[in-house]
Structure 1
Amino acid sequence: MKKFILMVFVLLLCFSISYAQPPKSKLIILISEQNIAGPQRAWWASEVDLSLTEATISQRLLEQGYIVVEPKDVGNVLAKEKAFKVVDLSEAKSVQLGNLSKADYVVTGKAIASSAGNVPQSNLRSCFANITAKVIRVKDGKVIAYLDATGNSAHLDVITGGKEALVNAAGELAGKLIEALTKQEGGGN
């Protein structure tokens, strides 16, 4: 009976190991963001964390099991390497930052929200956001995907409308990013 129980336990252990998912990738999200009437220096290495775009994308990645490097951890690297504190980080510097942070991928990009005129027959303002990003694989510095997304919103307050548009665009971009990462991790280069 003991042998039978031991045999069942070993079989169950083997099945659970064979069905275990490999760990998901570790990412750094570096997207500068400009909301309507917001500070022009609202970017990933700034003193003030205002990035709804990064937060929305990071949340979606975390929900899918990816590991996202926290801004404070990137900040620790930035404190040591002042050369990283620029708005437009080159691919080479992005890879270097990824290596120092032990990330598999670095996502760089820009997010901009704008407002247009009023929605016809209302006091609502039409707001829209555009995000462009690229995904860089750290181990070889190769850009694996160029992504873009748009979002829109109508709101009485243009800043709130801009935030909503940025969140909508970031949600769309997150889906495209997860698709690109899944393709890479599935072996499709």
Structure 2
Amino acid sequence: MSEIEPVRLELIIGSTRVGRIAPVVANWFVERARTYPHVELGVIDLLETSLPQNLDDSPATDAFRARVGRAHGFVAVTSEYNHGYPAALKTAFDSVKHEWRAKPIGFVSYGGVSGGLRATEQLRQVVAELHMVSVRQSVSFHQVRKKFDDNGRTTDAAAVDSADRMLAQLVWWARAVRLHRATESYPG
């Protein structure tokens, strides 16, 4: 039996706000995902990715597009601001077109009482328009600043369980899409 080729996932940190807790949430998920079998994980922090707001082509856009194209699937770490997702995350989705198509995505959200779930539900509509596959399982942190200790660890058992389930779904979809793309182009 041949060795299973790992799937390449890119984690996208959507918040660029000053004082954000996004890196804590993202780092926790990265540690979790890096122990998952057959996953290679990259991190794209939109704070460090200067995508033009007017969606023009630029060297940053070209580099982002290439990275999206190489990935087999994605995880978006999103905050919820005013019942919605961050503008930087929408710009990232809008800056690329064909490279997103038919690839799976999972969401790790955080916020106050809602835990970012409203942002996730809105993003599911956005990614559907990009022909992406939104996996059913997501991770959500309610009252996020109370969920992590000073070392970035959480004892939130529901989040840990959800992360593992979401990773399993992402890997399954990424493998299926990769296999099918090897023989046939996506018709969208």
Q: TM-score range by the shorter chain?
A: 0.3 to 0.5
Q: Which has the larger radius of gyration?
A: 1
The normalised TM-score by structure 2 is 0.46
More strand by share: 1
Q: How does the TM-score come out when normalised to structure 1?
A: 0.45
